[in-house]
Every structure is written in structure tokens, then in C-alpha cells.
């Protein structure tokens, strides 16, 4: 009997050791990874991320140029890995084996899901090419950009801001409604490659450098299926339409009003006493919107700096769903991420631009998220700022902050 017990115990130990050895194939290794998302046209959008251990919990940092976006909701069961992005209501479902992840990135929309094939391999720090060909091109600086659809039916102006550094290319594209945040890439064989994945959007820009002042044959891939063409000319004085000229009130209106529930279900209105004789900022945002995330990151310390001087902020959420509880869950994650101190209201309307205009009938139209309405102490609309050019835009962001703070300072001085 004792002999049989020893055999059984030995078999059990060998089985456990084999299981542990097998499980090493399923380990989410720490260190750098290279990932790709595949579009409907077959184009691959590459990005990098780093896995680290934080207090016994695996965390991921999405890397796009100087920006690192922390992801800490990671779960694993055997060979199945679930990476839930902290904002935007998106997630990655993948199988892991031999330091390779394979699965899908899923972006939850209002009535459907967008699904993109996802692959990642541990230990690869390159983004587009392992080795770039030598380049003498000079892309650093400002470019005037023209975007168009494949049939050239729709054209839109933009600005490109690029910087070459240590053999890599960094920068962003800015449109009237906001920027494409932090892009990272390279130049190889006179071709330009830039990409980004921030949890909400997947972008790929390619183009051909005709000379040091002209880019042609540009292609822009966004998400699973959106494709646009683009060209660019070097232009140090390129500008976009004034962000304060895009959205306006209907004729005959100089004030707005609303009554929407906050995250506790309590109705909040501009007629509430807390807004009386205050300069008020009304933020139109969504938890799904990366530019809204950048704007929120700016407004939180701005609110702390100016609240005692007579400033209030109230944020109106337009989610992809009219479900209050689902909207609340997503907004709470954003609020907790940025430690938002001001009121965040659930409008009950979706992010469809026509619905936004319906929610506030005094608006002539609604163009883009985010949008910021500035009210003076008498409740009158003084300015409406469309879009947000965040920290990825460099001097554009610095100029916005300077002009915006001067505007608020002046309004606070008014009686």
C-alpha cells in the first residue's frame, strides 16, 4: 500500500510539474511587444506596448511617441487573455501561446461591434521595419494637408506637424475638429509611415515623399474600414479655420438651458444657485472620445485653479447608448481615471450630431466632440470652441492654453 501511495504521489508531482511547464507557454511576458490590427482592406496598423508587473498585477502601457496610456484591467484564464481598455468601451480578446497573442480588438458601438483582427509578439520593439534604409529627408516642421475621399467628393484641410528624432518620425495631423493625437513611425525608401492605437482609435498614415516639400499618394486608414487620401506641402504658416467660428447659436438666442441628471440621478440645470454669477464652461463630451479625454485632462486642473475665482464647469455626456446605467458605468470610469471634480450629466442622447442639436434646440448645429461653450456671469454665451487640439499638437496646444486662459481671466473681471 505504501509503495502504491509513493507511485501515485510521484505521478501527481510529475503531472503538476508538466502542467506548470505547459503553462509557461501561456505567460503574458513582461517587456516590449509589437502588435498589429488588420483593416478590411488588409492594411496592418502596427503599435507597441509594454507589459510590466505592478504590485503583483500585470499592467500594459500603450506606446505612441511620447504618450503612454496605462491599461490595468487585464485578466487571464489558461490561454485566454482579456485586455479591457480603461476608457472608450473597447477590449482585446486573445489567445496566448509561445509569447504570441492572437485574437480580436472589439469596439462596442451603439447598435453593433467593430471587430479587427489582432496579433502581437513579445520582444519586438520595432514598429514598421526592423531596419530602416538610410534617409536624408527633412520632414520636421509644419505641413499644409488636404484630405479627400477615394472619389474626391469630400475634401478637408488639415495641418501636419512632424519631428524627426533618432531615426524615428513623430507628429500628428490636426483638423478643424481636433487632432489625431500622438503618432509614431518612420521614413524608409522615401515613404512615410505613421500609426497610433490609443484604445479608442487605430490610425495608419502612409505617403510618398516626392521631395523635401511635397508628399503625394497619401493614404489614411482609420479603424476597420475608413480610408481617405491625403497630400501635403511644406508650409510654415499653415492655419486652420478659427475653432470659435464653427459652432453657433440660432439667430435670436444668446443663452442656453438644460436639465439633465447627474451620476446620482439628481437633475442639474444652469438655473441652479451654484452657477449664479459664475463664469461657466459647458463641456460636450463622450467616454468614447480620445480628444474629449485630452480636454478633460486639461480642464480638471484648470477647474481647480479657477474655481475659487468664480468658475464652474459642467459636462454633458453623449454616449453611444441611451441606457442610463450603461452610460453611467462608462462615465464613472472616465471620472475616476481623471479625478473629475465637476458635475458630469447624462443627457440621454447619443453621440449622433443631430441628436446633440435636438438636445439643445438653441444650437444652430453641432459639428464635433468635444465642444466647449463659454458663458459669462450673466449666463450669456460668449464663445463656442469646437474640437480640441491636445498635447500631441505641440505649439498649437500651447497657443490654445494661453488664449483660453486670457479669455477666462477677462470674463472673471467683468461685473
Please tell me the predicted confidence (pLDDT) of residue 351: 94
DSSP letters along 281-339, please?
EEEEE-TT-HHHHHHHHHHHHHHHHHGGGTEEEEEEEEES---HHHHHHHHHHHHHHHT
As given in the structure block, the three cell numbers for residue 146 are 488636404
Residues 6+ apart with CB under 8 A from 281: 299, 311, 312, 313, 314, 372, 373, 374, 375
Please tell me the predicted confidence (pLDDT) of residue 14: 41
Stretches in the chain below the pLDDT threshold 50 = 1-22
From CA 255, how far away is CA 117, in angstroms rounded?
Answer: 47
Give φ, ψ of 376 to 5 degrees. Answer: -85, -175
Q: Which of 170, 239, 290, 195 is nearest to 396 (CA)?
A: 239
- Residues, the chain: 415
Kindly report the pTM of this predicted structure. Answer: 0.91
- Going through 44-132 in order, the beta strands assigned E by DSSP cover 44-54, 57-64, 67-71, 73-77, 80-84, 90-97, 100-108, 113-122
Q: What percentage of residues in the chain have a pLDDT greater than 70?
A: 93
Please tell me the predicted confidence (pLDDT) of residue 166: 83
Please tell me the predicted confidence (pLDDT) of residue 23: 64
- Cβ 312 vs Cβ 342: under 8 Å: yes
Please tell me the predicted confidence (pLDDT) of residue 395: 92
Rg of the chain in Å (alpha carbons): 25
Q: Cα–Cα distances in Å, from 178 out to 75, 181, 288, 369?
A: 34, 9, 15, 8
Q: Cα–Cα distances in Å, from 340 out to 309, 314, 336?
A: 18, 10, 7
As given in the structure block, the three cell numbers for residue 40 are 478590411
Q: Which of 147, 137, 143 is nearest to 235 (CA)?
A: 143
3-class SS at 171? Answer: strand
Please tell me the predicted confidence (pLDDT) of residue 11: 41
Please tell me the predicted confidence (pLDDT) of residue 7: 43
Amino acid at each position: 500500500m505504501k509503495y502504491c501511495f509513493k507511485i501515485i504521489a510521484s505521478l501527481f508531482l510529475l503531472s503538476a510539474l508538466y502542467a506548470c511547464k505547459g503553462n509557461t507557454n501561456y505567460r503574458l511576458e513582461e517587456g516590449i511587444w509589437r502588435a498589429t490590427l488588420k483593416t478590411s482592406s488588409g492594411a496592418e496598423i502596427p503599435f507597441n506596448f509594454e507589459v510590466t508587473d505592478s504590485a503583483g498585477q500585470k499592467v500594459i502601457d500603450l506606446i505612441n511617441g511620447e504618450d503612454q496610456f496605462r491599461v490595468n484591467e487585464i485578466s487571464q484564464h489558461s490561454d485566454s487573455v482579456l485586455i479591457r481598455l480603461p476608457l472608450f468601451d473597447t477590449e482585446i480578446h486573445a489567445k496566448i501561446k509561445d509569447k504570441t497573442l492572437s485574437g480580436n480588438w472589439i469596439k462596442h458601438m451603439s447598435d453593433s461591434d467593430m471587430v479587427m483582427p489582432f496579433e502581437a509578439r513579445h520582444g519586438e520593439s520595432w514598429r514598421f521595419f526592423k531596419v530602416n534604409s538610410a534617409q536624408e529627408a527633412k520632414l520636421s516642421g509644419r505641413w499644409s494637408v488636404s484630405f479627400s475621399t477615394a472619389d474626391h467628393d469630400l475634401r478637408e484641410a488639415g495641418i501636419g506637424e512632424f519631428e524627426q528624432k533618432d531615426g524615428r518620425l513623430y507628429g500628428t495631423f490636426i483638423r478643424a475638429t481636433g487632432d489625431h493625437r500622438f503618432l509614431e513611425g518612420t521614413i524608409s525608401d522615401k515613404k512615410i509611415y505613421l500609426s497610433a492605437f490609443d484604445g479608442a482609435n487605430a490610425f495608419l498614415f502612409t505617403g510618398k515623399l516626392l521631395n523635401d516639400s511635397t508628399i503625394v499618394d497619401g493614404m489614411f486608414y482609420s479603424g476597420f474600414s475608413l480610408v481617405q487620401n491625403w497630400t501635403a506641402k511644406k508650409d510654415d504658416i499653415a492655419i486652420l479655420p478659427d475653432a470659435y467660428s464653427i459652432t453657433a447659436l440660432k439667430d435670436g438666442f444668446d443663452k442656453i438651458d438644460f436639465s439633465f441628471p447627474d451620476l446620482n440621478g439628481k437633475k442639474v440645470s444652469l438655473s441652479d444657485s451654484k452657477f449664479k454669477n459664475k463664469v461657466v464652461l459647458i463641456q460636450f463630451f463622450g467616454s468614447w472620445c480620445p480628444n474629449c479625454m485630452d480636454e478633460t485632462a486639461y480642464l480638471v486642473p484648470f477647474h481647480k485653479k479657477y474655481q475659487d475665482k468664480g468658475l464652474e464647469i459642467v459636462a454633458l455626456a453623449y454616449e453611444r447608448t441611451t441606457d442610463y446605467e450603461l452610460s453611467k458605468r462608462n462615465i464613472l470610469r472616465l471620472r475616476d481615471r481623471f479625478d473629475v471634480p465637476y458635475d458630469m450629466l447624462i443627457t440621454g442622447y447619443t453621440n449622433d450630431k443631430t441628436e446633440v442639436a435636438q438636445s439643445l434646440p438653441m444650437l444652430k448645429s453641432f459639428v464635433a466632440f468635444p465642444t466647449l461653450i463659454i458663458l459669462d456671469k450673466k449666463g450669456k454665451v460668449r464663445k463656442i470652441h469646437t474640437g480640441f487640439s491636445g498635447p500631441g499638437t505641440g505649439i498649437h496646444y500651447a497657443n490654445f492654453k494661453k488664449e483660453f486662459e486670457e479669455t477666462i481671466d477677462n470674463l472673471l473681471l467683468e461685473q
